[in-house]
Amino acid sequence: MVREYDYLVIGSGIAGMSFALKVAGEGARVALVCKTTLDEANTDLAQGGVASVTNLEVDDFEKHIHDTMVAGDWLSDPKAVRKVVTEAPGQIRQLIEWGVNFDRKDDGTFDLHREGGHSEFRILHHADNTGHEIQTSLIEAVRAHKDIDVYEHHFAIEIITQHHLGKIVTRRTPDITCYGAYILTPEGRVDTFLSRVTLMATGGCGAVYTTTTNPLVATGDGIAMVYRAKGTVKDMEFIQFHPTALFHPGDRPSFLITEAMRGYGAILRNKRGERFMGKYDERMELAPRDVVARAIDSEMKATGDDHVFLDVTHKDPEETRHHFPNIYKKCLSLGIDITKDYIPVAPAAHYLCGGIAVDTNGESSIKHLYAVGECSCTGLHGGNRLASNSLIEAVVYADAAARHAREAVKHIDLRKDVPEWNDEGTTHPEEMVLITQSIREVNQIMGVYVGIVRSNLRLDRAWNRLDILYEETEKLFKCSKASREICELRNIINVGYLIMRQARERHESRGLHFTLDYPPTTTINDKK
Which helix H or strand E contains 235, and what residues bound it? none
Cα gap 485→460, rounded to integer Å: 27
Q: Are 125 and 8 in contact (CB under 8 A)?
A: no
Q: Are 169 and 163 in contact (CB under 8 A)?
A: yes
Query: Which residue, among 420, 414, 368, has the nearest Cα to 2 in the 3D structure?
Result: 420
Which helix H or strand E contains 197, and what residues bound it? strand 190-200
Which residues are CB-contacts of 218 (< 8 A; sequence separation ≥ 6)? 42, 203, 204, 205, 206, 207, 212
Instruction: Give the active site residue among 114, 289, 454, 490.
Output: 289
Query: Which residue, among 268, 282, 239, 283, has the nearest Cα to 116 in the 3D structure?
Result: 283
Query: Which residue, among 42, 34, 39, has the nearest Cα to 186 in the 3D structure?
Result: 34
Cα gap 45→39, rounded to integer Å: 10
Residue 253, preceding peptide bond in cis (omega within 30° of 0): yes
The number of residues making up the chain comes to 528
Written as one letter, the residue type at 455 is S
Which helix H or strand E contains 319, and what residues bound it? helix 317-323
Alpha-helical runs (H) found in 42-129: 42-45, 61-71, 78-97
Q: Are 251 and 347 in contact (CB under 8 A)?
A: no
Which helix H or strand E contains 119, and what residues bound it? none
Query: Which residue, among 190, 180, 222, has the nearest Cα to 203 in the 3D structure?
Result: 222
Active site residue 385: no
Which one-letter DSSP state was computed for residue 510? Answer: B
Q: Strand (E) positions, 303-396? A: 308-311, 343-352, 355-357, 369-371, 376-377
Query: Which residue, among 353, 362, 398, has the nearest Cα to 380 in the 3D structure?
Result: 353
Cα gap 397→18, rounded to integer Å: 10
Q: Which residues of 291-307 are buried (b: 16+ CB within 10 A; e: fewer)?
A: bbbbbbbebbeeeebeb
CA 164 to chain CA centroid, nearest Å? 29
β-pairing, 123-124 with 267-269? unpaired
Written as one letter, the residue type at 16 is G
β-pairing, 267-269 with 308-311? antiparallel
Cα gap 348→447, rounded to integer Å: 10
Active site residue ranges: 289
